[in-house]
A and B are shown apart, each in its own frame.
Chain A
Amino acid sequence: MGKLKMPSRWKHDFPVPHAEDSYVTRREFTRFLGLTSMAFFIGTLAAAGRKLVKQFFPHNSAAVEVADIHELPVGGHKLFRYPTENDPCILLRLSEDKFAAFDQRCTHLSCPVLFDAGKNQLVCPCHEGFFSAEDGRAVAGPPKRPLPQLQVTTRNARVLVASREEHLA
């Protein structure tokens, strides 16, 4: 006795309208692969171009005064914005005559880093990232890149900050 073939129940509950399907031909698919490859190349080229521009035409911003030397105790910090209002930075006083300044955005996902004077580290509270307060290098957690460091000098009891490429004469 032949086995009676019944339609599957799921096909009844979830019918597939094959007539309404739009099929992708192999040619269309290969065209998509080719265009994807070209997009990757253009993206790589754009990133390489941006790196070249950064390297050979550094953005020079004028040095600015960000604090009075007496307003920052040893182990203290001050937030400021440099070179534009959209660039948060942090100035640290590491010892009596040693200052350091960094971009405050974590190199992992741009959360603002906080200064932990006891550990002499900058801490990103979002994902537990730690940076050295001496030179900004990543010491633990998800961040791999160091914090961009600014150049700091003191003059007439004032603390001046400039980008790394700018010379504070």
Chain B
Amino acid sequence: MSPEVHRRNRLNVVLQMVTALITAILLGQLWLFTVTLDAMETPSASMTIVVAAALCSLVACSAVWVLIRFFLTTEQMETGDRS
């Protein structure tokens, strides 16, 4: 296996790991969304929960966009495609 092919294979693994991480973060965001909806419908629910869930969702969203930038940069390195 040439060094070039070896490097591409390693990058492919990185890309798959990044995709798995983004999917996990999305599942976490879905859970935060359901927690917030539940708190919205429950008058006795604490505001702290709602604010914390919104902040965590913001952090998760930022993390996803950072990971996507990393993903696209890595893909460019792999394919040399700059389109």
Contact = CB atoms under 8 A, between A and B. Distances in A.
Query: What is the interface of chain A mostly: helix, strand, loop, or mixed?
Result: helix
Contact of A30 (B42, B51, B54, B72): B72
B51 A37 contact: no
A82 B48 CA distance: 30
A61 B68 CA distance: 49
Contacts of A55: 47
Query: What is the interface of chain B mostly: helix, strand, loop, or mixed?
Result: helix
B40 to A, nearest CB: 4
A148 interface: yes
Contact of A34 (B39, B53, B68): B68
Given A27-B72, A45-B57, A47-B40, A52 B65 contact: no
Contacts of A38: 61
B72 A37 contact: no
12 contacts: A30-B19, A33-B68, A37-B26, A40-B61, A41-B57, A44-B54, A44-B57, A45-B58, A47-B33, A47-B39, A48-B40, A51-B39
